[in-house]
Amino acid sequence: MRKKSAALRLKTAEERLYGKEPSAGDPFELFSAEDLVDGFNQILRSVMLNLDDAFRKRNLNREQIRSALKELKKATEKAAGDLDRLKKLAQEEQKEKLWDLVTRAIEINGAALEGAETGLTSLGPGAGSRDKKGKD
C-alpha cells in the first residue's frame, strides 16, 4: 500500500508540473507538487525505519523481511528515474523549493536502495532460492 501511495505522489507531482489539473475527487486534489514530494519523503523514511527495526529483531520471519527488502529495492530503483525527471522539470520551471525537496528525495531514495541491497546481502540467499549450477 505504501509503495503505491509513494509512487502515486511522484506521478501526480510530475503531472502538476506539466499543468494537468486534478480531477474532482482526486485524493491529492489539494496538494501541491511540493506537498506530494514531501509526502513521498515521509513515506520512504517511515518504510526505512520500520524495515530497519524489523531487521534488528531476530525473532521475526526472515523471509518476510527479505520479501519487503526486495520490494523496497524494486520500488526505489523505479523511483530513481521518476525523481530524476521531476528534478529536471523543477529546474526548468525554476521551482527552487521543489528542486530542494526532490534533491532530498533522491538522497533518501538512494539510502533506501543501498539499505535494501545491504540487508539482502546480509540475509544471504532465501530458503526458496537454490543453486542453479549444473541445471539446464
Question: Burial, 62: exposed, middle or buried (Cβ in 10 Å; 0-12, 13-18, 19+)?
Answer: middle
The CA distances from residue 78 to 54, 72, 96, 119, in Å, are 24, 10, 24, 19
- The pLDDT tens digits for 42-71 are 999 999 999 988 878 766 788 888 999 999
Cβ contact 44:112 at 8 Å: yes
**pLDDT at residue 62, rounded to an integer:** 83
**Mean pLDDT on 93-121:** 96
**pLDDT at residue 1, rounded to an integer:** 52
Q: Which residues of 65-74 are buried (b: 16+ CB within 10 A; e: fewer)?
A: bbebbeebbe
> What percent of the chain stands above pLDDT 90?
60
For the cut 50, the answer to whether the pLDDT of residue 130 exceeds it is no
**pLDDT at residue 58, rounded to an integer:** 67
User: Which of the two residues, 126 and 111, has the higher pLDDT score?
Assistant: 111
DSSP secondary structure string, 62-107?
HHHHHHHHHHHHHHHHHHHHHHHHHHHHHHHTT-HHHHHHHHHHHH
- The pLDDT tens digits for 85-98 are 999 999 999 999 99
**Mean pLDDT on 28-48:** 94
- Say what the pTM is: 0.84
For the cut 60, the answer to whether the pLDDT of residue 128 exceeds it is no
